[in-house]
């Protein structure tokens, strides 16, 4: 994998200031907007993020505003048919991320037949849509792939306090759609699901808003539904060294087809919003180990000041989640808040849809969550209700390449 492509990818998705760089480096990253003939540079909000590259977009890419995440079950036993679906999906994803309609479009075709594209993204810009595919552990039991399952793709252990709903957990594969416009993200999942009927079926899906962590550390850290800044120390999307160390699977990691890929953990974390809101400010700040206004760690002045862990309560969230508490375990977080209305008891069905990318789940999420699930003071106010883990293959290199080619052909 070319090193330069890594850089290109990380620059490409950049959303903030100083982005003229992105357009220059991107080359082919300028895309036609959905409205027709106006050309938008990649640097502009609403522009297209390049689909092809050494890594899949949607991991190190600057976090977009909205999410539609879907997990699928495979329904076919025919390997050829499934491979064809992956190719069809790749083609559709390349079109949609560039701001184009699927197939022959949403109108103008035969009057008696439904159009290829569902049409709700017509006239909208690409909105930095990224589509990222992942393969769940259960996929490897199918199509004779058991011996290709990466060792790092472990089934997550049972953590204390987990109350997992099977209907919101697992899946043979997943697609993460991130975009600045929710309609663009939903359109993408809807059309992929439609192409997939008969071959795959949606198992569960989650909408997200209000990104809860950013991969742009110079920007202000967004707040979660509890009103706190969480994820201040996230891996930066431009820190190639940190990405190589903690996020991208390396050539010596033992599974050739995964080189340049990553492992994704998704957790639906429900928050007990009403009881949290009745909690004193002091307790809230103790629970996180940060102050609520600035987001500074206990005893410090600024959000980005180095946390002094020993000043925090032993069960403070930041203290328990910190790499220093977990033997250096570091993950790239891309979570979103969710609010799915109310739950029938009148409680806000809200929380954090946690998404974390790492080079090895055994060295990333698992040690951190072991530490948190045992002792985190936050556990009184949250519950993990959904869980899934996926192997996220490397990027689609060019227009002849397709999602999962390495896994299915044995060629990296």
Partner 1 sequence: MRPARVPVVTAVVAAAALTAVTGCTEKSDAKGGGANSVSVTASDDKCEVSKKELSAGHVELAIENKGSKVTEVYLLFPDDRIVSERENIGPGTKQKLTAEVKAGSYEIACKPGMKGDGIRQKVTVTGGGKTAKRDPRLDKAVAEYRAYAQAQADQTLPATKTFTDAVRKGDLDAAKKAYATSRIGWERTEPVAESFGDIDPKVDVREDGLEEGQDLEKDWTGWHRLERALWKDKKIGKREKALATQLDKDLLDWQKRVGKAVITPTSMANGAKELLDEVATGKVTGEEERYSHTDLVDFKANVEGAQKSYELLKPVAAENDPALTKELDKQFAALDKLLEKHREGGAGSYAFTSYDKVGKADRKELHDGVNALAEPLSKLAAAVAKSK
Residue 71 CB, shortest distance to partner 1, in Å, is 13
Nearer to partner 1, 78 or 218 (CB): 78
Q: Which residues contact 143 (CB under 8 A, 6 or more apart)?
A: 79, 82, 408
Nearer to partner 1, 160 or 198 (CB): 198
Question: In angstroms, how far is the first alpha carbon of the chain from the final one?
Answer: 10
Nearer to partner 1, 41 or 109 (CB): 109
Nearer to partner 1, 16 or 167 (CB): 167
Note whether 64 and 180 are within 8 A (CB). yes
Residue 387 CB, shortest distance to partner 1, in Å, is 18
Tokens 């990466």 belong to 150
Stretch that binds partner 1, among 172-180, 197-205, 270-278, 358-366 (CB under 8 A): 197-205
Note whether 23 and 363 are within 8 A (CB). no
Q: Is 107 in the site for partner 1 (CB under 8 A)?
A: no
Q: Give the Cα separation of 327 and 226 in Å (integer).
A: 28
C-alpha count within 13 angstroms, C-beta hemisphere, residue 155: 10
Q: How far is CA 21 from CA 24, 53, 60, 61, 217, in A?
A: 5, 17, 17, 15, 18
Percentages helix, strand, coil for the chain (3-state, rounded to 5) are 30, 20, 50
Q: Is 194 in the site for partner 1 (CB under 8 A)?
A: yes
Residue 198 CB, shortest distance to partner 1, in Å, is 3
Q: Is 75 in the site for partner 1 (CB under 8 A)?
A: yes
Nearer to partner 1, 199 or 363 (CB): 199
Nearer to partner 1, 84 or 373 (CB): 84
Residue 168 CB, shortest distance to partner 1, in Å, is 13
Residue 174 CB, shortest distance to partner 1, in Å, is 17
Q: How many residues bind partner 1 (CB under 8 A)?
A: 14
Residue 222 CB, shortest distance to partner 1, in Å, is 35
Q: Could you give the string, one character per residue 152-171, with x where binding to partner 1 holds by CB under 8 A and - elsewhere? A: ---------------x----
Q: How many CB atoms neighbour CB 331 within 10 A?
A: 27
Q: What is the CA radius of gyration of the chain?
A: 21
Tokens 């556990």 belong to 379
Stretch that binds partner 1, among 14-22, 104-112, 278-286, 360-368 (CB under 8 A): 104-112
Stretch that binds partner 1, among 13-21, 112-120, 125-133, 330-338 (CB under 8 A): 112-120
| Closest CA relative to residue 351, chosen from 380, 317, 316, 385 | 385
Q: List the one residue from 39, 110, 241, 301 that touches partner 1 (CB under 8 A).
A: 110
| Closest CA relative to residue 117, chosen from 107, 127, 102 | 102
Nearer to partner 1, 74 or 124 (CB): 74
Note whether 301 and 173 are within 8 A (CB). no
Q: 3-state DSSP call for residue 352? A: strand
Q: List the one residue from 112, 147, 398, 400 that touches partner 1 (CB under 8 A).
A: 112
Q: At what angle do helices 182-196 and 79-97 cross, to 10 degrees?
A: 160
109: which 2 tokens? 């075709």
Residue 195 CB, shortest distance to partner 1, in Å, is 9
Helix (H) / strand (E) element for 14: namely none
Stretch that binds partner 1, among 141-149, 192-200, 281-289, 299-307 (CB under 8 A): 192-200
Q: Is 344 in the site for partner 1 (CB under 8 A)?
A: no
Note whether 205 and 173 are within 8 A (CB). no
Q: Is 197 in the site for partner 1 (CB under 8 A)?
A: yes
Q: Give the Cα separation of 95 and 51 in Å (integer).
A: 9
Q: Could you give the string, one character per residue 253-292, with x where binding to partner 1 holds by CB under 8 A and - elsewhere? A: ----------------------------------------
Helix (H) / strand (E) element for 372: namely helix 365-375
Nearer to partner 1, 197 or 308 (CB): 197
Residue 103 CB, shortest distance to partner 1, in Å, is 11
166: which 2 tokens? 């099977």
Nearer to partner 1, 110 or 146 (CB): 110
Residue 74 CB, shortest distance to partner 1, in Å, is 11
Name the site residues for partner 1 (rule: CB under 8 A): 73, 75, 109-114, 167, 194, 197-199, 201
């Amino acid at each position: 994998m070319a090193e330069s492509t890594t850089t290109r990818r990380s620059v490409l998705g950049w959303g903030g200031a100083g982005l003229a760089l992105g357009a220059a480096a991107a080359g082919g990253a300028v895309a036609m907007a959905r409205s027709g003939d106006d050309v938008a540079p990649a640097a502009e909000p609403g522009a297209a993020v390049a689909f092809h590259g050494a890594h899949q977009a949607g991991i190190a890419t600057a976090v977009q505003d909205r999410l539609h995440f879907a997990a699928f079950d495979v329904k076919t036993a025919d390997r050829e048919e499934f491979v064809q679906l992956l190719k069809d999906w790749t083609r559709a994803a390349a079109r949609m991320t560039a701001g184009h309609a699927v197939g022959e479009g949403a109108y103008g075709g035969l009057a008696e037949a439904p159009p290829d594209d569902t049409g709700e993204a017509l006239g909208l810009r690409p909105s930095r849509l990224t589509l990222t595919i992942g393969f769940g552990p259960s996929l490897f039991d199918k199509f004779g792939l058991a011996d290709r399952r990466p060792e790092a793709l472990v089934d997550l252990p049972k953590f204390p306090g987990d109350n997992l709903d099977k209907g919101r957990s697992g899946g043979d594969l997943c697609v993460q759609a991130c975009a600045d416009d929710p309609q663009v993200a939903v359109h993408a999942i809807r059309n992929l699901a439609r192409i997939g009927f008969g071959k795959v079926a949606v198992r569960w899906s989650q909408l997200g808003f209000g990104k809860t962590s950013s991969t742009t550390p110079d920007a202000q850290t967004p707040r979660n539904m509890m009103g706190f800044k969480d994820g201040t120390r996230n891996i930066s999307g431009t820190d190639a060294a940190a990405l190589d160390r903690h996020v991208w699977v390396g050539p010596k990691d033992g599974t050739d087809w995964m080189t340049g890929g990553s492992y994704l953990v998704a957790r639906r974390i429900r928050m007990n919003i009403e009881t949290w809101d009745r909690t004193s400010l002091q307790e809230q700040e103790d629970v996180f180990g940060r102050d609520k206004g600035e987001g500074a760690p206990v005893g410090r002045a600024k959000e980005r000041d180095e946390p002094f862990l020993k000043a925090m309560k032993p069960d403070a969230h930041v203290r328990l989640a910190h790499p220093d508490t977990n033997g250096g375990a570091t993950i790239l977080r891309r979570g979103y808040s969710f609010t799915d209305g109310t739950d029938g008891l009148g409680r806000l069905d809200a929380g954090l849809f946690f998404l974390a990318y790492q080079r090895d789940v055994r060295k990333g999420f698992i040690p951190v969550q072991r530490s948190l699930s045992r002792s985190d003071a936050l556990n009184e106010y949250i519950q993990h209700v959904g869980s899934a883990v996926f192997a996220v293959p490397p990027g689609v290199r060019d227009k002849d390449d397709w999602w999962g080619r390495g896994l299915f052909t044995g060629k990296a």
